[in-house]
Structure 1
Amino acid sequence: MSSTTTLNPATEQSAAKVVEGSNGLLLEIDGQIVPNYDATVHPFQEGDVVTGHVVRIDNDEVLVDIGYKSEGVIPASELSIRKSVDPSDEVSLGEEVDALVLTKEDQDGRLILSKKRARFEKAWRRIEAAAESGEPVEGAVIEVVKGGLIIDLGVRGFLPASLVDIRRVPNLDEYMGQAIECKVIELNRSRNNVVLSRRAVLEEQRKEDRERILDRLQPGQVVEGM
């Protein structure tokens, strides 16, 4: 006659005990002292933005310590809206970064984060505010494409060639890498579409310059034309 033995979980693994004097931050399990992650980590879900420090930079990914039980992984493709980025150009060791939680645990048990998507969310709020107020936004030219320029605003903004300057620009390549100010003239969140105009900024500046000159003119004063 066979018999069944019921095992007490306590015989397999000792219950975790809070280490005295640790303020609940350390646990003792089977004689070993381990961090109490439940006490040190703020709860977060997929889609939340978390803050951490860069602890390792590889060719294809970056590791970030957010105080979780494992380090977060930012794949190179999630570092920037720019194409084919070198992780070492985007972040430095010890740098504090904000990242959006894509997956709390992938098939390999890794916490997957995205720096570009955290920046994307902040950028949209800033761009929407600028579009409403009429204030210009500033970004760097990162690509020359057919029909215009791509501006890095945290979101890919499109600047049509006809709106780059007051006059026609024969060579758009000369703007690569430059930081420029533009007005937001079209915005569509559902399509991630941002259309910009540098010409609007230049025309506004020209108008302000003319008004300042006119304000200084005196009756009978002779000035040279421009």
Structure 2
Amino acid sequence: MVEDMNQVEVKNLEVGSKVTGTVTKVEEKQVLVSIEGSKLDGIIPISELSSLHVEKATDVVAEGQELQLKVTKVEDELLVLSKKAVDADLAWEDLQKKFESKEVFEAEIKDVVKGGLVVDLGVRGFVPASLVENHFVDDFADYKGRTLTFKVVELEKEKNRVILSHRAVVEEEMKNKKHQVLDSIETGQVLEGTVQRITDFGAFVDIGGVDGLVHISQLSYEHVTKPSEVVTEGQKVQVKVLSVDRDNERISLSIKETLPGPWSMVSEKLSAGSITEGVVKRLVSFGAFVEVLPGVEGLVHISQISNKHIGTPHEVLSEGEKVQVKVLDINENEQRISLSIRELEEPEPQEDYSQYSHSEESGGFQLGEMIGDKLKKLKK
């Protein structure tokens, strides 16, 4: 009669039937379970425990654990069961919802393989190397065991294909943060930032999730040939916001305007009457502009260039030439300095005409007398 009852149970439990089982013994390559509502025992091969490769059954289940299982084979007094089949059914349903809603969820990295990472979601999820981070990663070894956030970016149940992306989550977070920063900053603000990239035309500075450009002309009051002369990648800098273009997500910044102006210390370094060296920066019709301190130019008026008469400054000076100048006057409020080159030159020697004039006592003559005699003859 017992045999008849077993046959009835076997007929009721077909391939594909779902049952609840309790783990009674965990062996190296299989798990034994008792089936709820049935006197038949069940066995789960190690290959049916997980969608991922399992070395030891004890890595997945333990004695006394209750499991939801699916019948894969019916034998006379034994059921062959699968845990991973039930997990997969539930996983595909859950993944479809996540894929449609673009939900962000957490999962643990179970393995690092060639080309990317593997995640156990009830089915095998794969994260290609290009979708792990928004920057290049040389070695993923330390990612195993880490928990990351993901989005499902590709889903094909027929091909058992689940592609995940952590990069998509990171980029969306950065985009949201960027919009928040763009909405919060205003022209004129002074902020701390980090130099991210250096180019020929300036430096890009991160000011809290968004990069702004410091043009080469805004790096320093001094002339800058290469931005790398002034800043380095990773350097912390103070920047002033010059403009914000929220539509095009562009921010113009200045390091120069957070620094003391070149004229702020002029009176401590120069005074009327002092002599200093400068560089001719510009020549104009009325004189020459000479840089006497970094970013500070003074005017040498054409009348103060030379003791000799000159028509244009170009006759005696050239741009880039180093010259000695004397400070005539400083007006710090108006940022004006008057300079002179002439006052440092030797005075022109005066022609001595004394040889042309002799006194009567010496028996000589005067030029006026000679001319006077000639005028008298002409009148006659």
TM-score by length of 2: 0.46
Q: Which residues of structure 2 form unaligned runs of 5+?
A: 193-206, 209-380
2:89 partner SS: helix
1:167 to 135, 144, 148: 135
Q: Residue 52 of structure 1: CA displacement?
A: 1.8
State the match for 1:12 in structure 2: none
State the match for 1:189 in structure 2: 157
**Which residue identity is paired with 1:176?**
K
1:190 partner SS: coil
Structure 1 residues 89, 195: CA separation in 2 closer, same or farther (over 3 Å shift)?
Answer: same
State the match for 1:141 in structure 2: 109
Contact 1:99 1:117 in 2 (8 A): yes
State the match for 1:127 in structure 2: 95
Larger relative strand fraction: 2
Q: Residue 218 of structure 1: CA displacement?
A: 6.7
- The answer to whether 1:46 aligns with 2:15 is yes
Output the CA distance in 1 between the equivalents of 2:180 and 2:66.
44
- The answer to whether 1:59 aligns with 2:59 is no
Q: Write out per-residue CA displacement over residues 14-46 of structure 1, whole angstroms, 9 at most, x where no aligned residue.
A: xx6xxxxxxxxxxxx8xxxx9x779999x5431
Q: Residue 65 of structure 1: CA displacement?
A: 1.5
Output the CA distance in 1 between the equivalents of 2:115 and 2:39.
48
Please report the RMSD computed on the Cα atoms of aligned residues, expressed in angstroms: 2.8
Output the CA distance in 2 between the equivalents of 1:209 and 1:99.
45
Output the CA distance in 2 between the equivalents of 1:171 and 1:153.
24
- Higher RCO, 1 vs 2 (CA within 8 Å, ≥6 residues apart): 1
Q: Residue 140 of structure 1: CA displacement?
A: 2.2
Q: Write out per-residue CA displacement over residues 84-103 of structure 1, whole angstroms, 9 at most, x where no aligned residue.
A: 33111211111111111111
Q: Residue 221 of structure 1: CA displacement?
A: 4.6
1:191 partner SS: coil
Residue identity (%):
40
Output the CA distance in 2 between the equivalents of 1:118 and 1:134.
24
2:59 to 89, 97, 122: 89
State the match for 2:70 in structure 1: 100
1:184 partner SS: strand
Output the CA distance in 2 between the equivalents of 1:117 and 1:178.
26
Output the CA distance in 2 between the equivalents of 1:122 and 1:138.
17
State the match for 2:47 in structure 1: 77
Please say which structure displays the higher CA radius of gyration.
2
Q: Residue 138 of structure 1: CA displacement?
A: 3.1
Output the CA distance in 2 between the equivalents of 1:47 and 1:179.
33
1:165 partner SS: coil
How many residue pairs get matched?
A: 192
Output the CA distance in 2 between the equivalents of 1:99 and 1:136.
28
Q: Which residues of structure 1 form unaligned runs of 5+?
A: 1-15, 17-28
Which deviates further from its counterpart, 210-219 or 180-189?
Answer: 210-219
Q: Write out per-residue CA displacement over residues 56-109 of structure 1, whole angstroms, 9 at most, x where no aligned residue.
A: 11111111112222111111111112213311121111111111111122xx64
